[in-house]
Amino acid sequence: MSVSTAAVAPSVCAPLPVLGGDVTVPLVTGGEVAYAALDYAASAPALQRVWDDVAAYAPYYGSVHRGAGYLSQLSTDLFENARRTVAGFLDCRADDQLVFTRSTTDSLNLLAAALPAGCQVFVFETEHHASLLPWRDARVTYLDAPRTPDQAVQTLERALAARTVSIEGGHGPALVCVTGASNVTGELWPVRELAATAHAHGARIVLDAAQLAPHHPVSVRDLDVDWVAFSGHKLYAPFGSGVLAGRADWLRAADPYLAGGGASRKVTRREDGGVDVEWHDSAARHEAGSPNVIGAYSIASACKALTEAGFDTLVARERHLIAEVREGLADVPEVRILSLFGDDAPRVGVISFVVEGWNSSHFAAALSAEYGIGVRDGLFCAHPLVRTLLGTAPETQGECGAPEAAPGEKSLNAIRVSFGAGTPDEHVNRFVHAVRELVTQGAKWRYRTEDGRCVPAV
């Protein structure tokens, strides 16, 4: 097979070093091999830069806000500087508010809790559960999966034009939630066009950038979105932190997401025995408790590293890797790549596929046990989308059952390979070789189902 290359040959080394590159794992066939981490869409490895920055700060760790001691003041400055760094990375507007959360899921649940009364929410069925499910207490319209970017815009246009009228006679507040890049297909969504459509109908829009931010620049101003949410663990920054950034008015008007210290400006006892609370208007309103300063700092460190590396360089190299994988899989007739928008759609380094004659759980287990390659199998916390993409798939075969399959249901699950700025060429080349060898020669080992997972038989 002839593999295409970019105009300028990319480096075979990853442009941003990550932890774990020297980790070896045992193979069931004997010996060990360097682990190929190709599950970035779930959690990307930590950047070495992030780890080094956190290690340098760790001896100076202290309580954030209100502490009189030197380390507390230093940690507070670090935390608030991290907020400014991340806001700059997202190109936020001057009056936007940036709240540190636990994850994308946490960010979108926070926004869901801050929706004005009577707000209607519009969300495509293609969303990750983090952006599909938080709105269940609101009036939600679920939109069918589009098959082109233009169809996505048209679908939203029709839905917003038909939205119900409130008791007061107007349409009332509305929110559109959309992903920037699919966690299943990797395809980029027409965010700017969807934002324009939302605003033309008086609605606001929140961008789930969990899969977009690690691969492409995200500008709140340029995309004209009202909020953006993402997770540190997908942006090469562990320690359980996330971000919600955008318009401050709904956040200021809402009760705190969590009630407690830090969110309150003033608390007084009433004569009747109760308490009166004056809440902060700043981001602290929704950051009750001791802030995760290391998580926030790690995100800021990752933002700096990605910015300094240059997204133009990172995107160009990732396109090379995407071409390597897609062309390698296309060379195997038994492989079907999943897509909503078609082969020519722009995408990030996330590719899902099924293999004829294999259950996806079995195939993924063989990649791990026999080749030292870590991928993901299942429905990827995007069940409606994957079921739509696999709805016409035949009954799958294999020694192991699908972990997501209900009794009597077809084994509807897929395999996902994902990569990014820390992926060396060797990992991608090994993956393509392993797929071809497994399909043509079969697995070298027997496998069985244990606790819903496919594992090597012993």
Query: Which H helix or E strand runs over 9?
Result: none
The pLDDT value recorded for residue 67 is 84
CA 111 to chain centre: 17
**Residues 420-437: pLDDT tens digits?**
999 999 999 999 999 999
Percent of the chain with pLDDT over 70: 91
* Nearest-angstrom CA–CA distance, 374 and 44: 12
The pLDDT value recorded for residue 1 is 29
Torsion sign (Cα): 114, 195, 234, 294 = negative
Looking at residue 60, what DSSP letter applies?
G
**Residues 74-133: pLDDT tens digits?**
999 999 999 999 999 999 999 999 999 999 999 999 999 999 999 999 999 999 999 999
Residue type, 302: A
The pLDDT value recorded for residue 137 is 84
What are the residue numbers of the active site? 381
φ, ψ (nearest 5 deg) of residue 414: -135, 175
pTM of the complete model: 0.92
The pLDDT value recorded for residue 85 is 98
The pLDDT value recorded for residue 167 is 46
Q: Residue 295: is its pLDDT beyond 70? A: yes
Which is more confident, 1 or 272?
272
The pLDDT value recorded for residue 164 is 65
The pLDDT value recorded for residue 453 is 85
Average pLDDT over residues 14-24: 92
**Residues 319-329: pLDDT tens digits?**
999 999 999 99
Which is more confident, 57 or 170?
57
pLDDT, the chain, mean: 91
The pLDDT value recorded for residue 8 is 35
Q: Which of 167-171, 184-188, 338-342 has the lowest mean pLDDT?
A: 167-171
pLDDT category at 12 given cuts 50, 70, 90 is low
Judge contact between 39 and 25, C-beta under 8 A: no
| Token pair of 118 as six digits | 């009577």
The pLDDT value recorded for residue 217 is 97
The pLDDT value recorded for residue 284 is 85
Q: Residue 396: is its pLDDT beyond 80? A: no
Residue type, 364: A
The pLDDT value recorded for residue 407 is 42
